[in-house]
């Protein structure tokens, strides 16, 4: 079930790319990034790439490191795909090899990091990615109430 806010705002298009977040969601993520001093974001579940486009643009000005993974890139906006193909990978987020690779990437990435779980099974994603969190990092799940 969607909230009244979601029904009122619908989809948003930060940087011109559709996103399944609301403006309040995006604002909350921006607030977390700013107040926690986040320097790296791992997005699990990219879909169209609306949040990825915002974070990549934000990184141009702040140096924020970004990486996104999704089981399929079929829905990924073509402009996002062309912008930086190395930042978004088609990967099974639940595969142990993917979790290991993301752990290694996060170890090398600037701290603190935000791990944003927005794929298809939040309980499983949160269970798999919580152990990757270091002191000062933030783990965030989106649409948890739907699952």
H or E element in which residue 96 lies: helix 96-108
Query: What is residue 84's DSSP assignment?
Result: -
Over residues 94-138, the pLDDT tens digits come to 999 999 999 999 999 999 999 999 888 888 999 999 999 999 999
Q: What is the pLDDT of residue 120?
A: 81
> Of the ranges 33-37, 55-59, 105-109, 118-122, which one carries the lowest mean pLDDT score?
118-122
Q: Do residues 119 and 132 make contact, with C-beta atoms less than 8 angstroms apart?
A: no
H or E element in which residue 68 lies: strand 65-70
Q: What is the pLDDT of residue 4?
A: 61
Residue 5 in this model has a pLDDT that exceeds 70: no
Separation of alpha carbons 118 and 141, rounded Å: 6
**Average pLDDT of the residues of the chain:** 89
- What sign results for the dihedral spanned by CA atoms 61, 133, 140, 67? positive
């Amino acid at each position: 079930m969607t909230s009244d806010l979601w029904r009122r705002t619908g989809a948003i298009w930060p940087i011109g790319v559709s996103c399944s977040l609301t403006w309040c969601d995006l604002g909350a993520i921006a607030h977390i990034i700013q107040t926690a001093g986040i320097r790296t974001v791992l997005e699990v579940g990219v879909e169209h790439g609306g949040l990825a486009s915002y974070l990549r643009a934000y990184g141009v000005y702040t140096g924020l490191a970004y990486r996104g993974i999704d089981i399929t890139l079929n829905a990924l906006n073509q402009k996002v795909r062309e912008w930086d193909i190395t930042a978004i990978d088609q990967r099974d987020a639940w595969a142990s090899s993917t979790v290991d690779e993301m752990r290694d990437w996060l170890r090398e990435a600037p701290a603190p990091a935000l791990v944003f779980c927005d794929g298809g099974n939040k309980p499983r994603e949160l269970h798999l990615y919580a152990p990757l969190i270091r002191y000062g990092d933030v783990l965030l799940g989106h649409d948890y109430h739907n699952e």
